[in-house]
A = this chain, B = another copy of it.
Amino acid sequence: MTRSGQKIIGVLGGCGPYAGLQLVETIFGQTKAKKDQEHLPVYLSSVPGEIMDRTEYLLDPSIENPAYAIASLIRQMELVGVDVAGIACNTSHAPAIYDVIREELRSSGCTVKLLNIISETIYLLQQTYPHATRIGILSSDGTYRTRLYEDRLIEAGYTVVKPSPAFHHEKIHLCVYHPHFGIKASSAPVTDWAKERIAEATAYFYAQEAEVLILGCTEFSLAADEIAAGGLGVIDSTQALARALIRETHPEKLTQPGLTREAIAAEIG
């Protein structure tokens, strides 16, 4: 809580640093606010040197689980009054990491309420596209292999449109992770190399009659226009978590989903 009794949002960033920033920016963008003072209280903790690589851990569980550092940084947020927090990283939500974070917070009596980006993304999908049944996922190889979204979508009754591991690696994973042409290396602008792969990937999902694509890796949000050009509905996991953090702290400040910047400006008068 702030001195005046407002609930405080915590963002666990650093994995990676820009993903944390993007979540904070999305929170600001989804908040009804006409001036500085109407924006919500947010703390960002970005301590990347303490948090080992999440995908490396999932591939080799003999190394240190990044869950301990993440839990320690979330506990620290209690000191500055954070009420509700989210982790700006899809891969950290793999059960081998996320379940340990939750257990660490529970056993230490931490009062910060932690939201789950996977659950919130599926909730936003249900809310935005109530009639969709066939869903595609744009994610890293780590998320693909650990079936992070796939299992939860199937549980929720969806059909998951899933490319082969080779297609996923070449046309989707490398869009983000290619060391020279990927979105992590160059996002302003996204390279033609990545755009061509995005077009091939979206064409695949379109041909397989997927109705909605989930952006299950933060970097894909930076190519949202190119992805939307593929003609499918889009649900962005960063936006889903941002909206959930507002809903759990200041529900009256949450803009309607799917509004453009102009429409938000009109909505708040």
Contact = CB atoms under 8 A, between A and B. Distances in A.
A88 to B, nearest CB: 12
A50 interface: yes
A15 B41 CA distance: 12
Nearest to A9: B46
Nearest to A69: B3
A4 interface: yes
A2 B17 CA distance: 16
Contacts of A3: 50, 72
Interface in A28-75: 28, 36-53, 72
Copies in the complex: 2
A80 interface: yes
A166 to B, nearest CB: 26
B46 A44 contact: yes
B37 A24 contact: no
B17 A49 contact: no
B28 A17 contact: yes
A15 to B, nearest CB: 6
A25 B17 CA distance: 9
A41 B47 contact: yes
Contacts of A37: 48-49, 51-53
Interface residues of A, number: 37
Interface string A70-92: 00100011011000000000000
A15 B36 CA distance: 7
Nearest to A44: B44
Nearest to A185: B265
Contacts of A47: 2, 8, 41-42
A77 B4 CA distance: 18
B72 A80 contact: no
Given A21-B21, A36-B53, A42-B47, 11 more contacts: A2-B50, A14-B41, A15-B36, A17-B36, A17-B42, A18-B25, A36-B48, A40-B48, A42-B44, A42-B46, A44-B46
